[in-house]
Amino acid sequence: MSRSDALLHNVFVYGSFQEPDIVNIMLERIPEIISVTLPGFKRFRLKGRLYPCVVPSEAGEVHGKVLMGLTDKELASLDAVEGNEYERVTVEVVRTDNSEKFTVKTYLWINKDDPDMYGEWDFEEWKRLHMPKFMKTIKQIIELHKNPHQGKGLDDYTQIIHENLGDAPSS
């Protein structure tokens, strides 16, 4: 493995980031994308929000994609969009095409007992009903992230997500 390969990240995505058009907005490219399953976790809807969350669940499994070969800068863009309600962790996924297991990064919902979690999040429903609004919001966050002189950080990005894609948090 070359030195530059060691700096690349593979990231499991399970919600709106499965959509190549969204990935292209965030990363300004579409990386290699692999279909996988994440065992030991469950994906939920969040009341009043257009995006899902994933939390540990012994009997659960989440189908999603892995974005392969992301740079540190691209990973920072994902961090910005995920905001401060998710924690980036390392997990093991299983490829759907050949059952190979490998470790990747993903974003878990910090509040594992959140009363707003309910039911299974539906990717196809999200694409039909919410994708345009989501794309507009992601573009806004990425533009702010690209211009750090504006003094915006994770709390600001999370506020933008709440304002545009769900209920604004109470202060």
Active-site residue list = 82
Two tokens, residue 146: 């690209």
Distance from the first to the final alpha carbon of the chain? 48
Element (H, E) at 53: strand 53-70
- Taken in order 104, 106, 25, 79, the sign of the CA dihedral is negative
Q: Are strands 86-95 and 117-118 parallel, antiparallel or unpaired?
A: unpaired
Two tokens, residue 30: 């579409």
Two tokens, residue 49: 């929000």
Q: Tell me the three state secondary structure of residue 166.
A: strand
